[in-house]
Each structure stands twice: as C-alpha cells, then as structure tokens.
Amino acid sequence: MEQMLQMTYLWLKAGHIIFVIFWMAGLFMLPRFFVYHQEATPGSPENAVWVEREARLRRIILMPSLIVVWIFGLTLAYSTGAFHQGWFHAKLLLVVLLSGYHGWLVAYAKKLARGERPFTGKRLRLLNEVPGLAAALIVVLAVVKPF
Ligand code: HEM
C-alpha cells in the first residue's frame, strides 16, 4: 500500500512537471507572437493569421496546461501536507501571479485582434522576462524548500 502511494505521488509529480514545461513554453511563445503580430496592419490577412495562431496556442497548449498544472499541483500539496509549509505559501503566491500574467496575455491577444496596439515591441520583449524569473524562483522554492 505504502509503495503504491509512493508510486502515485511520483507519477503525479512527473505529470505536474511535464505540464509545467508545456505551460511555460506557451507563456514564452505568446508574447513573441505578439511582437510579430503588432507589425501586421489591423484588418490585413497577415493580422488574421496571427489572431488564429494565438488562439490555437491558447486553446491547445496554454489553457489545458494551466488546468492540469493546477490540478496536479493541488493534489500533490494535499498528499504531502504542503499547505502547512512556508515554501509552499511563497510558491503559491508566485504561481497565482503567474496565472494572472497568463490572464493578462489572453486579454492582450483580444486587444490585438480588435486592432489595438497598446504596448511597443520593446516593452513586450521586456515583459517576456517575467515568466523566466517567476519559473526560476518557483523551482528554487519547490526543490530547495528554503523555509
Ligand atoms: C499551479 C500551481 C502549482 C501548485 C499548486 C504546485 C504544487 C506543487 C507541489 C505540492 C509539489 C510537491 C513538492 C514536494 O516534493 O513536496 C510540486 C513540485 C514541483 N513543482 Fe509545482 N506547483 C504549481 C506550479 C508549478 C510551477 C508553475 C512550477 C515551475 C515553474 C512548478 C515546479 C515544480 C517542481 C520543479 C516540482 C518538483 C520539486 C521536487 O520534487 O524537488 N510548480 N509542486
């Protein structure tokens, strides 16, 4: 029984990490798409191609990964008692912020589809540092568990 629980935990953790990779890949790709999308004239055929690419990335990669990462992560937390540990509180805060960033990207994609171009390409490139920084901190918290 003990061994079965241990195996379930390891499979859950493997699934969690696999979908974290997919989610992060999507979070890195979408703002890169925006940089190129912004250069297309609103209403042009090229603009329509980017709108479709972004919608597919959101539908096929980003949204399913977000859901699976949260479900597996919360199940792991429940099974390990992480809800009572300091590192997990900090990780949860960062992951909530990262999920908010995901939501912001979706809203930005909708603005681009409407022909709005609120940010410059340079600002979008800078913003692309956000998921990398967040991922580094989250991994250190999850692996090192410094507190
Ligand atoms: C979405 C909400 C998330 C929740 C609720 C969550 C929760 C958890 C929990 C409870 C564990 C097990 C830790 C242990 O071994 O005791 C874990 C493992 C891990 N998580 Fe998450 N996680 C989430 C998102 C993420 C994200 C976004 C990343 C990376 C960017 C990440 C990276 C990892 C890594 C690398 C491990 C393996 C740690 C180890 O075994 O040494 N997690 N996660």
How far away, in angstroms, is 140 Cα from ligand 1 center?
10
Kindly state the average pLDDT of the residues 130-141: 97
Residue 43 is classified by DSSP as T
Ligand 1 atom with the shortest distance to the CA of 79: 10
pLDDT for residue 5:
81
Tally the domains of the chain: 1
Ligand 1 cavity residues, CB under 6 Å? 13, 16-17, 20, 24, 69-70, 73-74, 76-77, 80, 82, 95, 98, 135, 138-139, 142-143
Kindly state the average pLDDT of the residues 50-55: 98
Kindly state the average pLDDT of the residues 97-119: 97
Taking the CA atoms of 36, 42, 47 and 51 in sequence, report the sign of the dihedral they define. positive
Residue nearest atom 20 in ligand 1 by C-alpha distance:
142
Name the nearest CA neighbour of 67 among 56, 75, 77. Answer: 75
**Domain range for 137:** 2-144
Summarize pLDDT for 9-39 with one digit per residue, the tens: 999 999 999 999 999 999 999 999 999 999 9
Summarize pLDDT for 83-92 with one digit per residue, the tens: 999 999 999 9
In the chain, the N- to C-terminal Cα span, in Å, equals 31
